[in-house]
C-alpha cells in the first residue's frame, strides 16, 4: 500500500514478520524544502518577526535518528521504533491506527487532541519546535498519540515558531465540519495551556489562516470555519 505525499514515498512492508513503513525521499523533496523554507522565512518578515530559515539537509536525518527519538521520549513524546536509517531510506515500525486526521474524520473521540496540545507544549518548553505540526504527522494507536515525520524539528522556540506549530496543527484540521473543529480547537489549546489564564503565542491565528489556504482540501468547510469567530486567546 502506498501513501501519496509530497515529500516522501511511503510503502508498508514486512521485515522478520513485523509490519514496517519504508520512507524514501522523492526527487522533488529538496525543491519542496526550499519552497517551505522560503514561505516560512517570508511570512516571518511579513509578520514582523524576522526568523532565520529552518535547517534541512543533514539535520533532517539527525532529527529522524535514534538519539532524537530518545530525547523526545524523555519529554513524554512517543515515536515509532526506528529500524533502519540512511541517506536514502528510513524504516520504522508500522503503527496500525492510521494518522490523526483520518481518525478525527471518522471518530467522535475528539478529546484525544488534548494530548497533542500537551506534546506540542512539552517540546516548546524544552526549547524546540516541530514546524511541520500537521495532524497527519501524528499516529493513533489504542487512543495513544505517536509522533512521526520528525525531520523539520528546530532547536529554538520563538513567538513565531511556536505560533507556526499551533497554527499549522489547527490549519490542518480546519476543513473538518465546524462543530467538530470547535471542539478540537478548544481541546488542543486546553492541552497546550498549563493553566486557563496561560497566554498563547499571539501569531497563532494569523499563521493558522494563512497555512489553511495551502493545507486543506475542503475549502467550503474552511470558509465556514474561518468566518466563524475563533476562541483562540
Ligand X SMILES: Nc1ncnc2c1ncn2[C@@H]1O[C@H](COP(=O)(O)OP(=O)(O)O)[C@@H](O)[C@H]1O
Task: Describe the crossing of helices 159-171 and 113-125 by its angle, rounded to 10 degrees.
Answer: 160
Q: Judged by CB under 6 A, which of 33, 149, 165, 185 binds ligand X?
A: 149
Backbone φ and ψ of 89, nearest 5°: -145, 145
| 133 near Mg ion, judged by CB under 5 A | no
CB of 13 to ligand X, least distance (A): 12
- Any alpha helices (H) in 47-140, and if so which ranges? 58-64, 66-74, 100-106, 113-125
| 33 near ligand X, judged by CB under 6 A | no
Q: Judged by CB under 6 A, which of 129, 139, 145, 215 binds ligand X?
A: 139
**CA separation, residue 200 to residues 147, 166, 193, 232 (Å):** 22, 9, 7, 8
CB of 99 to ligand X, least distance (A): 4
- Closest residue to ligand X, judged by C-beta, is 5
CB of 208 to ligand X, least distance (A): 19
| 149 near Mg ion, judged by CB under 5 A | yes
C-alpha cell at 170: 489547527
Decide whether 44 or 136 has the Cβ nearer to Mg ion. 136
CB of 81 to ligand X, least distance (A): 9
Residue 97 CA to residue 141 CA, distance in Å, equals: 5
Q: Which stretch binds ligand X (CB under 6 A): 52-60, 92-100, 115-123, 196-204?
A: 92-100
**Count of residues that bind Mg ion according to CB under 5 A:** 2
Q: Half-sphere exposure (CA, 13 Å, Cβ side) for 102? A: 11
Handedness of CA 217, 7, 171, 176 (dihedral sign): positive
Q: Can you give the binding site for Mg ion, defined by CB under 5 A?
A: 137, 149
Amino acid at each position: 500500500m502506498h501513501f501519496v505525499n509530497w515529500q516522501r514515498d511511503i510503502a508498508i512492508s514486512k521485515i522478520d514478520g513485523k509490519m514496517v513503513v519504508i520512507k524514501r525521499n522523492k526527487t522533488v523533496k529538496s525543491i519542496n524544502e526550499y519552497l517551505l523554507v522560503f514561505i516560512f522565512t517570508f511570512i516571518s518578515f511579513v509578520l514582523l518577526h524576522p526568523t532565520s530559515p529552518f535547517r534541512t539537509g543533514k539535520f533532517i536525518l539527525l532529527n529522524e535518528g535514534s538519539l532524537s527519538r530518545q530525547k523526545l521520549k524523555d519529554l513524554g513524546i512517543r515515536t515509532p521504533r526506528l529500524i533502519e536509517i540512511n541517506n536514502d531510506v528510513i524504516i520504522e515500525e508500522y503503527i496500525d491506527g492510521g494518522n490523526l486526521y483520518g481518525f478525527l474524520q471518522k471518530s467522535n473521540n475528539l478529546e484525544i487532541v488534548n494530548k497533542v496540545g500537551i506534546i506540542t507544549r512539552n517540546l516548546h518548553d524544552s526549547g524546540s519546535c516541530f514546524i511541520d505540526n500537521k495532524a497527519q504527522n501524528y499516529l493513533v494507536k489504542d487512543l495513544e498519540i505517536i509522533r512521526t515525520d520528525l525531520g523539520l524539528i528546530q532547536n529554538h522556540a520563538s513567538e513565531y515558531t511556536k505560533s507556526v506549530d499551533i497554527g499549522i496543527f489547527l490549519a490542518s484540521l480546519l476543513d473538518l465540519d465546524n462543530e467538530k473543529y470547535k471542539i478540537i480547537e478548544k481541546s488542543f489549546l486546553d492541552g497546550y495551556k498549563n493553566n486557563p489564564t496561560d497566554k498563547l503565542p499571539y501569531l497563532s491565528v494569523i499563521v493558522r489562516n494563512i497555512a489553511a489556504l495551502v493545507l486543506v482540501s475542503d475549502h467550503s468547510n474552511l470558509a465556514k470555519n474561518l468566518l466563524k469567530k475563533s476562541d483562540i486567546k
